[in-house]
Chain A
């Protein structure tokens, strides 16, 4: 279902719909969603609870099939994953050490030969078994762990780490696969405010280094404005794209300078203006049907 797009680093979603077969009646989670993300763009997606944000991301990650519509994502380069997803909350496998968690995505990835290496190594590099070898994978994983500052914890188990560190492991796992697109599903939602700010800084730094295309789901207006080049606002269920807001704030976005920028307040007000109606609608639907919101289903 995920087609190969001609240009690298661009997500093209066209009329994407998803219907869940509910217990009583089918439930329309996504209704003809269309949008694009440019190569190297940091794009945030906000919307009320239960609007299908997670469903959308899971479709892009290849975890579930859409009912209708198409997703085009860049050509899969050898040695890279098409999309790498960072989940909310539980994001590591507790029975694997940190390094094992990070290498998880590398089993099927064949790394390209390193640049500037001599032809013999290059020839070897084109042989999957060489790059699929444990040592090469470990080196790549350690490199990714270095980016999030966790090299020293490579052999620790997740339960020995804090929630924030576990989330950094999950970021390292995504980075290690060198994906064309980074999908993030409220990755910092379970963290306390201070840790969230620190991890946002870290993510911005990594993004500035790597210039990955990022699609970042959040329900925090602050987070969306601090991180993204552009914010997509979704409607209450069934999810559609309601509006797009460009975020022209200057980078790097230091916490203090962003908060003092008058444009920040205006953008924040505008986003909330768009979002508020949808949140109210979602609440009304919840009250009418008496069901719990199903963001995760």
Chain B
């Protein structure tokens, strides 16, 4: 029994400080991303979420140059970009991805410039890799504490807006007829997404931020057509993927070929994809003879009126 335990949890897993911080910060980011992500996926804002993660990283690198705390750079630029996206028309279905792409392209251009200015002394390689990947094992204690604040605000926005948000995601016309300010609700939702991704981009990196925002939520929306249940599933799946990923990464320290450990982001992303495919399989089996046709809540139309 203890041999099995030793094989699953490599020695020192529970006493290691970096692991504890990674479990905490990663778990927090996974929870917030899963819950906020359910709405982002329902509203078709996966791309906006991905772009916001990159953009808030740009803000982080800019705040280095300006000499302010990167934390505020992350959140401030993320929220500003969300406002810009809303302003130039992410609420329309067709032109939305284009507008998002333009904002992301311009922001990455700025990132290139900041890197050029900021890295005449240090290496560009490290900074680029951090922008692309981030690292879960390098979160410092105080940062994690302040980042928790963003998560709480994002969750607060979603909790307050829960019902109007569902209705306006499912049927903007109906929501409008009932007097819900659809535009403002959408903008606030985007702000919540921006806060959630800047929290996770800061603590666990840009790749994982997108993966945890979109993957668990999409899997959850496959499993159930009830929004409340979907939010719960998304949080559970995100948490499971993150913690299993951290565990595997810790175990992989002795794996070939380099014996330095495989990256956490790889494990978490792979687990998220596996969970999504499993959920898809479950949905297809439930749909019986029409596999591939089942799309519970795909457009958010089924459960929201309930």
Indicate, yes or no, whether A interacts with B.
no
Chain A interface residues toward B at CB < 8 A:
none
Chain B interface residues toward A at CB < 8 A:
none
